Every structure is written in structure tokens, then in C-alpha cells.
Amino acid sequence: LAGKTFVLTGTLSDMSREEAKEQLEKLGAKVAGSVSSKTSYVVVGEEPGSKLDKAKELGIEIIDDKVFHQFLKKLAGE
């Protein structure tokens, strides 16, 4: 995931945002606190905030947190 930037928003169902951040960083991704034109993906949990609106406005790919969890498991070889 080198070169990719993720933003996390809302409450993730399977892990804390801090755990998700650590997993992504282990895989070489960057995790940003806000959405910008440099954001690759926005991971959306329950009750997302304005970051989701900004991602839609900028046309950034949005990933549901359940799909995100499966994605991480697949990358980890589980």
C-alpha cells in the first residue's frame, strides 16, 4: 500500500481507528487526519462525519469498514 493515503471516519466495527491506522502503516500506507485531493481512500464506519461529505465532493473512493476489514485480513494472509 506504499504511496496510498487513507483517512478513517466514523466508528469502525471490528477494530479501533488506532488499530486500523497501525495495520495500514505496517502495510506501507499513510493515514491522514483529514480528506484532501491527496487522499486515496476513505474508510467509513458508523456515524461518519464531514470527512465522508468531503470525500464524495472530491470523488475519492469510499470503503465500508466491513469491506476494509476483509481487505486487511486478505493482505495479512488470513
- 1-47: pLDDT as tens digits: 889 999 999 999 889 999 999 999 999 999 999 999 999 999 999 99
Q: Are 7 and 32 in contact (CB under 8 A)?
A: yes
Task: Look at residues 55, 67, 59, 76 and name the one whose alpha carbon lies nearest to residue 12.
Answer: 67
CATH (domain of 69): 3.40.50.10190
- Give the three-class secondary structure for 37: coil
Quick one: pLDDT at residue 71? Answer: 87
pLDDT band for position 72 (cuts 50, 70, 90): confident
Q: Is the pLDDT confidence value at 78 over 70?
A: no
Number of folded domains in the chain? 1
Model pTM score: 0.91
Cell triple for 31: 493515514
Residue 43: domain span: 5-75
The pLDDT value given to residue 16: 92
